[in-house]
Amino acid sequence: MFTCQLCQQETCYIYKYCDTCQNVKRIMNCYGAKEVLAILNRVCLRNTQQQDYKINKELKETFKKSLDKTKENDVDKTDASYETPITRNKKKTNSI
Ligand SMILES: [Zn+2]
């Protein structure tokens, strides 16, 4: 049994690289290994400041999603059939 020479995780019987790594290799053939490495460094590797930006962005998106879910659970008050609930302080009156 052979493992992929690039990712060293997938099993390969015929080729040196697994299907995924063959695609990576094709991209490297097009752009060159140094350019691909530069892109990976620029996109995948982040310093502490960049990590903080990413964390804050993710937290904002998570908060926004939870806020959207809360809004979805709320009754649509713009609907004409919606009747405002009667509260103790604001009793519904049928008088003219
Ligand atoms: Zn691989």
Residue-level pLDDT at 55: 85
**Helix, strand, or coil here: 2?**
strand
Residue-level pLDDT at 63: 86
The rounded Å distance from CA 55 to ligand 1 centre is: 29
* Torsion sign, CA atoms 11, 17, 18, 24: positive
The rounded Å distance from CA 11 to ligand 1 centre is: 8
The torsion defined by the Cα of 49, 51, 53 and 58, in degrees rounded to 10, comes to -170
Task: For residue 92, give the DSSP letter.
Answer: -
3-27 pLDDT tens trace = 999 999 999 988 999 999 999 999 9
- Tell me the two tokens of residue 96: 């003219």
Residue 92 banded pLDDT, cuts 50, 70, 90: low
**Helix, strand, or coil here: 12?**
strand
